[in-house]
């Protein structure tokens, strides 16, 4: 995991992805993991690899809060200690499975791959807004490095080109948008687009008077490593009344491998919202972000010498923050690690 920032909360999955009495098996930070809900309602994460012969524990079975390897039968508890030796002898004390703390918060499961002493649940980013039943929790993977997904989200001007069909963008961000980039004490970086006195989108015109103008906000919040939240409002510029209810959505990215990323989000229920997700995420964003990943072909982003535009300010700030965190961690540890 040396390439990833370690002292950081990463999302492992949605709590409701973890089956009772079983586990969620998922590759995270380029290692295979099991996520288990325990009898007391808490969670644990175990490396999906037996220390004996390296069999995936996910090919074994769950017995209470322990997992038994399906190859030669060693059993491990929630802390990764070997607690079962099938010949009836003392479990070997050196047989340990890596175990990580997992916290449930707002329906999401968060793990801390770094120093457990630094893991403060109070620093988990706030997603209280997406706990209501109207939010369908969802997940897909992109075949691209997670920082390229961050780049995509932290510069929403791409919607004017890539999402013309899905979101019906009409150039108002380009003509009327003002971008503000903010950093907060808790490490949050905001990229805020405020669009004022703009032509309404096609679909909103019937709700408004002739010649009406709208104000729109597109604010996105980033926390390391790639934990984002998008907030959108749309109001009648004359009255200040909302045209649609304010929207808030998680866009939380966790590296699966160096070349693929878990993308956790919520959407509304129903076929219409499903179709919009397919169009915008799967048909528009995904091919573009994956194409950029393939174009880089493993080359470092900075080595490829990107031209930096003013609209990249927040995405670049997030990349720099991650680089600082990586360097700080590299400096704080023995070089051989």
Q: Which of 26, 37, 158, 317 binds a second copy (CB under 8 A)?
A: 158
Does position 295 interact with a second copy (CB under 8 A)? The reply is yes
Q: Which of 311, 317, 322, 325 binds a second copy (CB under 8 A)?
A: 311
Radius of gyration of the CA atoms of the chain, in A: 23
Does position 302 interact with a second copy (CB under 8 A)? The reply is no
Q: Which stretch binds a second copy (CB under 8 A): 131-139, 245-253, 263-271, 305-313?
A: 305-313
Structure tokens at 278: 């397919």
Mention every residue, 6+ apart, whose C-beta is less than 8 A from residue 315. Answer: 150, 151, 154, 155, 191
With contact defined as beta carbons under 8 Å apart, do 28 and 12 qualify?
A: yes
* CB of 220 vs a second copy, minimal distance in Å: 16
The residue (of 112 and 146) whose beta carbon lies closer to a second copy is: 146
Q: Which of 1, 246, 291, 330 binds a second copy (CB under 8 A)?
A: 291
Q: Which stretch binds a second copy (CB under 8 A): 56-64, 120-128, 202-210, 212-220?
A: 56-64
Bridge partners, 27 (sequence order): 32
Phi/psi of residue 44, each to 5°?
-145, 160
Instruction: Please name the helix (run of DSSP H) or strand (run of DSSP E) that holds residue 176, with its range, or none.
Output: helix 172-176
Q: Which of 17, 27, 56, 212 binds a second copy (CB under 8 A)?
A: 56
Does position 63 interact with a second copy (CB under 8 A)? The reply is no
Q: What is the end-to-end Cα distance of the chain in Å, rounded?
A: 10
**C-alpha torsion 145→148→153→155, nearest 10:** 170
Separation CA 182–CA 191 (nearest Å): 7
Q: Which of 40, 87, 300, 335 binds a second copy (CB under 8 A)?
A: 87
Q: Compute how many residues bind a second copy; rule: CB under 8 A.
A: 44
Q: Which stretch binds a second copy (CB under 8 A): 88-96, 120-128, 139-147, 236-244?
A: 88-96
Does position 309 interact with a second copy (CB under 8 A)? The reply is yes
Separation CA 250–CA 238 (nearest Å): 30
Q: 300-307: list long-range contacts, CB under 8 Å, 24+ apart.
A: 301/147, 301/148
Does position 49 interact with a second copy (CB under 8 A)? The reply is yes
Longest CA–CA span in the chain (Å) reads 83
With contact defined as beta carbons under 8 Å apart, do 218 and 257 qualify?
A: no
* CB of 196 vs a second copy, minimal distance in Å: 15
Q: Which of 104, 160, 194, 268 binds a second copy (CB under 8 A)?
A: 160
The residue ranges that bind a second copy (CB under 8 A) are 32, 49, 51-56, 59-60, 68-73, 86-88, 92, 94-95, 151, 155, 157-158, 160-162, 174-175, 287-288, 291-292, 295-296, 304-307, 309-311
């Amino acid at each position: 995991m040396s390439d990833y920032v370690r002292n950081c909360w990463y999302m492992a999955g949605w709590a409701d992805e973890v089956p009772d009495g079983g586990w969620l098996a998922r590759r995270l930070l380029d290692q295979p993991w099991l996520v288990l809900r325990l009898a007391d309602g808490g969670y644990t994460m175990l490396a999906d690899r037996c220390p004996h012969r390296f069999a995936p524990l996910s090919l074994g079975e769950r017995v209470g809060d322990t997992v038994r390897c399906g190859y030669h039968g060693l059993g491990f508890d929630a802390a990764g200690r070997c607690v079962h030796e099938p010949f009836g002898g003392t479990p070997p004390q050196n047989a340990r499975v890596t175990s990580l703390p997992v916290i449930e918060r707002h329906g999401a499961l968060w793990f801390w791959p770094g120093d457990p002493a630094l893991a403060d649940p109070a620093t988990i980013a706030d997603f209280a807004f997406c706990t209501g039943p109207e939010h369908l929790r969802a997940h897909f993977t992109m075949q691209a490095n997670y920082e390229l997904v961050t780049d995509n989200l932290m510069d929403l001007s791409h919607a004017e080109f890539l999402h013309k069909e899905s979101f019906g963008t009409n150039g108002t961000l380009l003509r009327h948008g003002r971008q503000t980039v903010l950093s907060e004490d808790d490490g949050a970086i905001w990229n805020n687009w405020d669009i004022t006195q703009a032509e309404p989108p096609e679909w909103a015109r019937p709700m408004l008077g002739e010649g009406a103008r709208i104000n729109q906000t597109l604010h996105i919040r980033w926390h390391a490593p790639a934990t984002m939240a998008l907030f959108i409002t749309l109001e009648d510029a004359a009255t200040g009344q909302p045209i649609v209810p304010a929207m808030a959505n998680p866009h939380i990215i966790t590296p699966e491998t160096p070349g693929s990323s878990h993308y956790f989000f919520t959407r509304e229920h129903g076929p219409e919202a499903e179709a919009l997700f397919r169009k915008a995420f799967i048909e528009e964003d995904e091919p573009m972000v994956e194409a950029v990943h393939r174009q880089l072909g493993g080359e470092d982003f900075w080595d490829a010498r990107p031209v930096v535009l003013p609209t990249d300010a927040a995405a670049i700030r997030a990349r720099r923050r991650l680089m600082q965190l990586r360097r700080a961690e590299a400096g704080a540890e023995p070089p051989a690690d």
